[in-house]
Amino acid sequence: MMTRKPPDDKVSSTGRSTPNLGQKAAELEKASEARLSHMEGAHTTSAPGRFVAWCKQEQASIEQELELMVSGKVRTGEDIGAGWVDTTEESMERAKARLAQLNDLLTEAGTATVVKPESL
């Protein structure tokens, strides 16, 4: 009875060498550390800078959400116990109000004011 020889750890049945998983993990960790040191290094942003970036990200997210609701691709609803009630119109109004607030925060002409607490 003939038995087939199991493939060698370094060479697959196709003749190509398989990656060393330990080496691959080390390479991924090294790349991750390089990205982290890059982020911690020259691109460190201030708290106001991070706040502005968050506002812009939130603005883009709300705009996308609003666009989907306006197009009818997304609807919102509320379960009132007797069944679901469509609340898409109210959700669109809230999204528009949040966009207006973010716009006020992101523009110098805006009416929103940011007050720094005394304890900081």
Question: What are the tens digits of pLDDT across the range 33-91?
Answer: 777 665 555 555 788 888 888 999 999 999 999 999 999 999 999 998 888 999 999 99
Q: What is the pLDDT of residue 31?
A: 76
Decide if 51 contacts 41 (C-beta within 8 A). Answer: no
Q: How many domains does the chain have?
A: 1
- Position 19 in a domain: no
Q: What is the pLDDT of residue 106?
A: 85
pLDDT over threshold 60, residue 93? yes
> The tokens 């087939």 sit on which residue?
4
- Position 32 in a domain: no
- Position 9 in a domain: no
User: In angstroms, rounded to a whole number, what is the distance separating the alpha carbons of residues 97 and 72?
Assistant: 19
Containing structural domain, residue 53 = 47-106
- Position 118 in a domain: no
